[in-house]
Amino acid sequence: MVPTVMINPEILDLSSEKTIAWEGCLSIPGLRGKVSRSKAVRIKYQSYPSGEYIESEYSDFVARVIQHEYDHLEGVVFLDRIASSLDLVTEQEYLKLITTNS
């Protein structure tokens, strides 16, 4: 996805279908966690610089990123979304996991 400025975003709809994937965050360096998120999202926002309202749907990885970033606006970080502490690993453990499973 091309970087897109989304002013005053509002999530209009989240798909009921969920996916679980590893997430990390610059706000919490050195940790990764498995997070369940909706597979698709419909969002409304104002574009920059025109201020035009845009409504778009995104799926898969881009939908995950939008939900992750929207959470920050709500004061939520990915750690708040982890179901179990067993789903949390250090960055070093994560790198071992992904190289072993590829």
Catalytic residue among 69, 74, 91, 93: 69
Structural domains in the chain plus CATH codes: 7-100 (3.90.45.10)
pTM as predicted: 0.92
**Does residue 55 have an active-site annotation?**
no
Q: Which residues of 4-37 are buried (b: 16+ CB within 10 A; e: fewer)?
A: eebeebeeeebeeeebeeebbbeeeeebbbbbeb
Q: Which tens digits make up the pLDDT trace of 33-74?
A: 999 999 999 999 999 999 999 999 999 999 999 999 999 999
Q: Which two tokens stand for residue 27?
A: 């706000």
